[in-house]
Chain A
Amino acid sequence: NAGVMQNPRHLVRRRGQEARLRCSPMKGHSHVYWYRQLPEEGLKFMVYLQKENIIDESGMPKERFSAEFPKEGPSILRIQQVVRGDSAAYFCASSFSRSDTQYFGPGTRLTVL
């Protein structure tokens, strides 16, 4: 009974490159959420998706960031032209339904050089 899976666990990019973060929700979960965490801070909501649809992207920066959750395959958080300020841990969570508990993955730690 696998939990939420994220890969890669660590990602190093140079300024200007693209970062792709993947999230596979728990089996049976069709709701996915992305959060960002800076060192010694709480998680900040970015985007909420339900299969093929973006439900709430109010926490997502307007430029360079995008997210998708295709019918088949994992959810992808894409950051184009990364800058040093994008360095953070990015966590994905999934839930069975809109009102259910969110379970988190182990996170992807992005470092921008």
Chain B
Amino acid sequence: GESVGLHLPTLSVQEGDNSIINCAYSNSASDYFIWYKQESGKGPQFIIDIRSNMDKRQGQRVTVLLNKTVKHLSLQIAATQPGDSAVYFCAAAGRKGGSEKLVFGKGMKLTVNP
């Protein structure tokens, strides 16, 4: 039978630009957040994580910002490269100090144009 799926939101950027991907969560008990990158046909790949006692964390070319007041999370990618093209998911866990039972967002498809 026919199935209808939700289309992924898409962000298109030029190579070298900075990218910002946003995520909202609903459970105020969430205390651990992760960003994953998923390329076509592959499993999610860990990018960066942050715990609720922080509001910013930096990695290599990536920064995650957490605003607990409005339950908002963002991933910033500096100098975006074609290899960054993928679907990006945020995930949250609600168990204090733990990371089990991740709740995933719907995802954002990032396309980097050379």
* Chain A residues near B (Cβ < 8 Å): 4, 6, 31, 33, 35, 38-45, 48, 55-56, 58-59, 91, 95, 98-107
* Chain B residues near A (Cβ < 8 Å): 5-8, 34, 36, 42-46, 49, 89, 91, 97-107
Chain A residues whose C-beta falls within 8 Å of the C-beta of B97 in the assembled complex: 99
Count, A-B residue pairs, CB within 8 A? 70
Contact assessment for B43 and A42 in the assembled complex, using a CB-CB cutoff below 8 Å? no
Chain A residues whose C-beta falls within 8 Å of the C-beta of B104 in the assembled complex: 35, 42-44
Chain A's nearest CB lies how many Å from the CB of B87? 9
Chain B residues whose C-beta falls within 8 Å of the C-beta of A91 in the assembled complex: 43-44
Chain A residues whose C-beta falls within 8 Å of the C-beta of B89 in the assembled complex: 42-43
Q: Show 6 A/B contacts (Cβ-Cβ < 8 Å), sorted by A.
A: A31-B100, A33-B102, A41-B5, A56-B101, A101-B49, A102-B99
